[in-house]
Structure 1
Amino acid sequence: MKLIYIAGNEPFNQGKINYKEVISKAKNKNIYTNTIFCGSREEGIRDYWQNGATTGGGKYFNIDSDKKVIYIETPYDIRIAKCNAKLNDTYMYYGNRGSEYKMKQIAQDKNAEVQSVSNLVERTVSKSKKNAYKNEHWDLVDKAEKDDHFIANMKESELPDELKGKSKEEIKKSVAIKSAEREKIQREIGELSKKRQIYIDDEMKKRGNDDSDDLGKAIESSIQELAKKNGYSL
């Protein structure tokens, strides 16, 4: 079973490709499509977002852009943010555009921070998930993990300044060190993230907030519902 979540704020039926045909083919392969419309529920229904989810055997959600987002500060936010800086330091760019992508990574972190501390923390948590955040197209650590022979075949011009002039074995060693550092930081972020979520859940209960309209909870519920339909036990 696989799930797809599509989010947006424009008509779902735009473009040259017929969404019904594509989504139906996906469903036949046990791939379920869920949709998230950024706007009112009624507008999303009119713009075929609900129909997309129905066709795909999934769920339709909407995000109310006017709804105030509750931010709960936790004792773990600053520590997670500091881990983000350490995590970024484990990325070793390569290739003609590697440096550009590295700068984009940093810029997106700053954009998230400008929005709120919570956004930066959530982005850091996402980046720490090894299977969800991959950059083998510009990061040497990710690329070497995917392709054991990549470093041996690299040209000197493709290397970052810090690795130029080093032997292949020295480069492999440097990459291995960064990889080990990254795994350690990812584990730390994962542990802090769990503690942070427990803190938030407890605080929400104290405040008497109703979780029924929380998008994250709704998506989690949809995953569990589809899993049970497909014979999985939770």
Structure 2
Amino acid sequence: MKTKILFSIPLLSSVAFACGSYAAGPFPTHLPSDPQDKVQIALLLDTSNSMDGLIEQAKTQLWKVVNSFNDAKRGGRAPFVEVALYEYGNNGLHIGNNWIRQVEPLTRDLDEISRELFAFRTNGGDEYCGAVIQRALADLSWDPSPRTYKAVFIAGNEPFTQGPVDARQACRDAMAKGIVVNTIHCGSREEGISGAWHDGAALAEGKFLSINQDKAVVHIDAPQDKQIAALGIDLNKTYLGYGVHAKEGAAKQMSEDNNAAANAGAGAAQQRAVSKASFNYCNTSWDLVDACREGTVKLADIPAAQLPEAMKTMTPEQREAHVKQMTETRASLQQKIMTLNREREAFVAEALKKQAETTGEQTLDQAIVATVKGQATAVGYSFGQ
């Protein structure tokens, strides 16, 4: 059986906007572009046969992995998360590239990562762990700062050492760049050790984990779930599309809301809403609120033809007031979601603990969330309310 996956994969204050001085919500006082507060996670997913269960976990639990950094701080500052996505081990890819395809480079466009995950289709192939790790090291714009948490997650059940590239050397190369490689074996721990998955993690100061890739992700129902999901939809009303990407961005946002809602049993809608309540959900390329918040545009410089329909006939002062109103409304909704989510986390914590004690098995999100928190702590981050 061929099953492998590499998955690797805030905060009230006031903040100055290029469009004016707006009241802020759950955003840090520094702009997220600060290189000192960056997290980079590479997700290299094997899309060979028998991977359907694990890919389903990846689709629905991406948001939970990103959300693990919502309460992270270092020196009072919160990090932003960049995610890269690869697929490998699929005969539908090109043999000249060792059956590897870069799906997305390191990006903050979480809707695009989600869209690509839902588009994955499995197919038989040869899985080369060393080759895909090597590609991720060479292709991606890894931050050189030792203060940046940089991690790769690779999982599967075929031998780790398959393929034309020395997987152990690839892990050594990663460590030389300050990139942690975590290996996740889909199957028993003993089989993973015999397949050299433990070796890869040891060489790159990562963590060796084993999961049941076919275990369904069980969502613990909580009283706050419906309200959190509903508030996540309400957030969409505060988005002000501008420029050439406005229509595409709004459509993609709605599409991924629908994908999450279709996986409500795994808690995807609730987790996506929490992601949308943090600054890690960022749409500066098409949304005026995000673009003004991060100073990537000046409202006065945008031609009227590129503004939302309702803003085209407004005076400059009315436009400023409208963007400010949407900013404040979004901040209020985000704060409500974060408050409800803290209540929800307290409700489900004991249930999840008992579940793990009963089965002794982890799902993909549980394995990754625990690992990233431990490793990010090593570079100075603390996690808590």
Smaller-chain TM-score range?
Answer: 0.7 to 0.9
Could you tell me which residue of structure 1 aligns to residue 158 of structure 2? 43
**Residue 36 of structure 1 contacts residue 62 of structure 1 at CA under 8 Å; is this kept in 2?**
no
**Residue 291 of structure 2 contacts residue 297 of structure 2 at CA under 8 Å; is this kept in 1?**
no
CA distance in 1, matches of 2:305, 2:145: 47
Indicate which of 174, 180, 185 corresponds to 2:333. 185
Could you tell me which residue of structure 2 aligns to residue 106 of structure 1? 254
CA distance in 1, matches of 2:230, 2:354: 28
Within a 5 Å distance, the mapping from 1:49-64 to structure 2 comes to: 51=171, 53=181, 54=201, 56-61=204-209, 64=212
Within a 5 Å distance, the mapping from 1:80-91 to structure 2 comes to: 80-91=228-239
Per-residue CA shift, 1:80-120, capped at 9, x if unaligned?
11101211110010012202211110111001111225111
Within a 5 Å distance, the mapping from 1:1-234 to structure 2 comes to: 3-7=39-43, 8-9=45-46, 10=88, 11-14=128-131, 18-19=135-136, 29-37=146-154, 40=156, 42-43=157-158, 45-46=160-161, 48=167, 51=171, 53=181, 54=201, 56-61=204-209, 64-117=212-265, 118-130=267-279, 132-147=280-295, 150-205=298-353, 209=358, 213-226=362-375, 229-230=378-379
Change in Cα spacing, 1:77 to 1:59, as seen in structure 2 (3 Å) is same
Change in Cα spacing, 1:187 to 1:44, as seen in structure 2 (3 Å) is farther
Which 5+ residue runs of structure 1 have no aligned equivalent? none
**After TM superposition, what 4+ stretches of structure 1 lie above 6 angstroms from structure 2?**
231-234
Per-residue CA shift, 1:103-154, capped at 9, x if unaligned?
1101110011112251111111111112x01111000111112228611111
Change in Cα spacing, 1:230 to 1:212, as seen in structure 2 (3 Å) is farther
CA distance in 2, matches of 1:65, 1:217: 12
Which 5+ residue runs of structure 2 have no aligned equivalent? 1-35, 47-87, 89-127, 175-180, 182-200
Percent of aligned pairs sharing the same letter: 25
Output the amino acid matched with 2:257: D
Query: RMSD of aligned C-alpha atoms?
Result: 3.4
TM-fit CA distance, 1:168: 1.1
Output the amino acid matched with 1:213: Q
CA distance in 2, matches of 1:195, 1:164: 41
Change in Cα spacing, 1:211 to 1:63, as seen in structure 2 (3 Å) is closer
CA distance in 2, matches of 1:219, 1:205: 16
CA distance in 2, matches of 1:229, 1:149: 36
**Residue 241 of structure 2 contacts residue 288 of structure 2 at CA under 8 Å; is this kept in 1?**
yes
Count of matched residue positions in the alignment of Structure 1 and Structure 2 = 230
Determine helix, strand or coil for the equivalent of 2:293. helix
Output the amino acid matched with 1:111: N
TM-fit CA distance, 1:170: 0.5
CA distance in 1, matches of 2:332, 2:359: 36
**Residue 229 of structure 2 contacts residue 269 of structure 2 at CA under 8 Å; is this kept in 1?**
yes
